[in-house]
């Protein structure tokens, strides 16, 4: 019986095209309903993820701590000096923080005396990354400053550094959020001990 029906239906369809259109319509409607259903589910999942991202996975700013600052090389007749900053970078987020090139600008009395490029990297979630940043201070530029002699006479130099870290956090693997961390530090360089006993940093974050 089934075979008979199959044999009859093609001829029937060719004589009566409206019935084939009807079955196509049903399939199309079913498809549309399925797409609509899938779309709704995707939208609901999207909303849930967004709520999670804004609450549980709330993007928090990274915490940067300057552990110590050391002057590696300082010759009285050569003003170039190398400063090594031991920096901890804590990522309090449940997501990893990927950052690009960093730039640290060193200034003395408002003029730039050195620039330190930093390599890009990743700060894993809930982890602290520790690194040594090497800063070269250009003595020639330092010498151009009219305040240098009085500062040297006083025994200390006030040096500032500005670090800009541009990064991106990725939430649940696909929601990306841009974060800019600006670290503004000031140091007091003691010439007689050739050390930096004092430093203070201010952090500013742009989400
Ligand atoms: C300081 O370093 C710069 C660049 O590394 C160099 O061009 C300059 O000659 C140095 N100056 C002194 C006094 O060593
Ligand atoms: C990062 O620094 C490297 C080397 O200085 C450079 O080739 C690259 O273009 C920089 N990338 C960005 C995103 O600035
Ligand atoms: C940074 O430098 C100090 C002293 O030179 C060293 O003990 C420490 O292991 C270094 N840290 C890193 C992360 O390289
Ligand atoms: C530099 O350090 C020495 C020893 O700690 C101290 O006696 C001196 O007062 C310091 N100089 C300045 C300008 O702070
Ligand atoms: C960095 O801090 C100093 C004072 O602590 C301030 O004068 C300077 O404007 C700050 N720089 C930036 C770029 O915020």
> What does the pLDDT look like over 117-144, one tens digit per residue?
777 888 888 888 888 878 777 777 777 7
Task: For a ligand 4 pocket test, name from 190, 195, 197, 198 the mutation site with the most ligand atoms within 8 angstroms of its C-beta.
Answer: 190
For ligand 3, whether the C-beta of 134 sits within 6 Å is no
**pLDDT above 50: residue 8:** no
Please check whether residue 20 is in contact with residue 13, taking contact to mean a CB–CB distance below 8 angstroms: yes
Spatial distance between the Cα atoms of 89 and 132, rounded to a whole number of angstroms: 11
Three-class DSSP category at 20: helix
In the chain, DSSP finds a helix count (H) and a strand count (E) of: 4, 9
Spatial distance between the Cα atoms of 175 and 87, rounded to a whole number of angstroms: 28
> What does the pLDDT look like over 63-115, one tens digit per residue?
777 777 777 766 666 667 787 878 888 887 777 778 888 888 888 888 888 88
Instruction: Bin 172: left if φ > 0, else alpha if -120 < ψ < 50, else beta.
Output: left
Say what the pTM is.
0.61
* N-term to C-term CA, the chain: 71
Average pLDDT over the chain, rounded to an integer: 74
For ligand 2, whether the C-beta of 200 sits within 6 Å is no
**pLDDT confidence tier of residue 29, bands split at 50, 70 and 90:** confident
Specify the residue with its C-alpha closest to ligand 5, atom 9: 184
Specify the residue with its C-alpha closest to ligand 4, atom 1: 190
Q: Nearest ligand to the C-alpha of residue 82?
A: 1
């Amino acid at each position: 019986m089934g075979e008979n029906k199959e044999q009859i239906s093609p001829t029937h369809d060719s004589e009566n095209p409206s019935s084939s259109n009807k079955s196509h319509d049903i399939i199309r409607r079913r498809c549309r309903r399925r797409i609509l259903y899938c779309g709704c589910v995707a939208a609901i999942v999207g909303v849930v993820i967004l709520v999670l991202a804004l609450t549980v996975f709330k993007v928090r700013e990274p915490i940067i701590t300057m552990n110590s600052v050391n002057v590696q090389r300082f010759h009285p007749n050569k003003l170039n000096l190398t400063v090594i900053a031991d920096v901890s970078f804590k990522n309090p987020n449940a997501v990893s923080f990927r950052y690009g090139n960093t730039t640290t600008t060193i200034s003395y009395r408002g003029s730039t005396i050195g620039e330190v490029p930093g390599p890009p990297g990743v700060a894993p979630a809930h982890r602290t990354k520790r690194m040594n940043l090497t800063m070269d201070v250009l003595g020639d530029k330092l010498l151009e400053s009219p305040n240098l002699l009085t500062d040297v006479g006083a025994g200390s130099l006030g040096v500032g550094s500005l670090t800009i870290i541009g990064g991106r956090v990725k939430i649940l693997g696909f929601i990306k959020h841009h974060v800019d961390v600006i670290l503004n530090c000031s140091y007091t360089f003691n010439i007689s001990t050739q050390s930096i006993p004092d430093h203070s940093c201010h952090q500013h974050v742009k989400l």
